[in-house]
Amino acid sequence: MNTADSERLASALEYSGLTSVDTHDKADVIVLNSCVVRQSAEDKVVGTLGMMKAIKRSNPDRVLALMGCMVGPKTDELKARFPYVDVFMKPQEYAPLLDLLSLDTEGCLANLTPIRPDISGYVPVIHGCDLMCTFCIIPFRRGRQVSRPMSDIVREVELLVQRGMREVTLLGQTVDAYGHDLVDETDLADLLYEVSKTDKLVRLGFLTSHPIFMTERIIQAVRDIDKVAERINLPVQSGDDNVLHNMRRRYDLVQYRNLVEKIKSIIPDVSLSTDIIVGFPGESNEEFENTLKLVEDVQFDKIHILKYSERPGTLAARKMVDDVSKEEKQYRFKVLEETQKQISYKKNMSLVGKTLDVLVNGQKGEKWEGRTKSDKLVVFDCNKDFLGEIVNLRIESASAWSLKGALV
């Protein structure tokens, strides 16, 4: 989300005649885009702001802006704490800086759309979140869910594709709730159908879903629209009902497992990933074992594991005791990581010998790399430039994290 926001602001500034420089001390305008999803991330922002104080003092005409989730609904406290910051902007709120610099790009989508986008990029479609998971600060900082009008999103994707993007991932904290707040009652399936009509768009994905909003209609759209990648990130967070209840996730394990079964029956080759927090307050060994069992049963393609850390301002921080030791959290993290590594390795090995369509999206050193429709990273050697194209690769070898292919 932050990367997408930064790209949009950078685009508006570039359109207005500013150019980027490589170090702070050469800049007339510095924008710090903040992430506060974890306390450690916020601490990093505060540390960088401390460093910025001297940079601002060395040239008081320099404009210093703080943007992103650290700027919540109230900025008074931030203004008192960081008086040398010239402007504070909430996520996706670019106008305060543009106004201060007397740059008028308001209402002009073209100016906010990255000028030289990467082959694969993001388009935010929802801002904020209406849920209140007890561990999460996002609803307090990004506010309630606001879906962007479909016509704006379609227009933005068209522009990005005209400028070279080939793969678009639609972004929202609960992207499968897209449209629930719009009067015309469109949903994510409608949006996927509309966006996929974009000429020269090769692949379309979406992130991140919440299990309670994932409907059969959306799953069928993923199956039926050729450009839509058959991958779904479905954060479960825990495999235990008691922990899920304490997290206030609004589903239980039976519901989650049923949903996974439904997705697998509609899209047999689906690539499923999930997010898991280990060491949530009160999580017992047995409750963790239930999470482990879920991971073994579902056989996800990928999991993102986080060790719980208290986030001031959340309900969990106010009402629950962070009582799982650091060592235990690390142990649970490692056990899950190792389990998933073996699952991923087995899944990737099953692709050896197959020929897959890969969208080439970059080069690292001598090697080209790209992703399959199910989000597998494939590297290959080639002396031709296939950037942005789909190539047929025969998979020659695999590790838990990636595949190695050769042009057919």
Q: How far is CA 161 from CA 119, 156, 321, 347, 396, in A?
A: 9, 9, 48, 32, 32
Q: Which residue in 211, 11, 246 sits closest to 133, CA to CA?
A: 246
Residue 136 binds ligand SF4 (CB under 6 A): yes
Give least dist CB 138 to ligand SF4, A: 4
Question: Applying CB under 6 A, which part among 132-140, 223-231, 317-325, 341-349 lies near ligand SF4?
Answer: 132-140
Site for ligand SF4 in 161-220 (CB under 6 A): 173-174, 210
Question: In whole angstroms, what is the distance from residue 394 CA to residue 372 CA?
Answer: 12
Q: How far is CA 41 from CA 4, 9, 88, 163, 261, in A?
A: 18, 21, 18, 33, 36
Question: Applying CB under 6 A, which part among 49-57, 62-70, 128-136, 224-232 lies near ligand SF4?
Answer: 128-136
Rule CB under 6 A: choose which of 65, 85, 98, 133 binds ligand SF4.
133
3-state secondary structure of 189: helix
Question: In whole angstroms, what is the distance from residue 325 CA to residue 347 CA?
Answer: 33
Query: Which tokens is 312 given?
Result: 């001031």
Rule CB under 6 A: choose which of 129, 202, 276, 295 binds ligand SF4.
129
Nearer to ligand SF4 by Cβ, of 159 and 177: the residue is: 177
CA angle 146–151–156, rounded 5-degree value: 90
Give least dist CB 133 to ligand SF4, A: 3
Give least dist CB 292 to ligand SF4, A: 21
Nearer to ligand SF4 by Cβ, of 127 and 376: the residue is: 127
Nearer to ligand SF4 by Cβ, of 64 and 138: the residue is: 138
Give least dist CB 123 to ligand SF4, A: 18
Q: Residue 325 corresponds to which amino acid?
A: S
Binding residue count for ligand SF4, defined by CB under 6 A: 10
Q: Residue 172 corresponds to which amino acid?
A: G
Q: Under the rule (CB under 6 A), what is the footprint of ligand SF4?
A: 129, 131-133, 136, 138-139, 173-174, 210
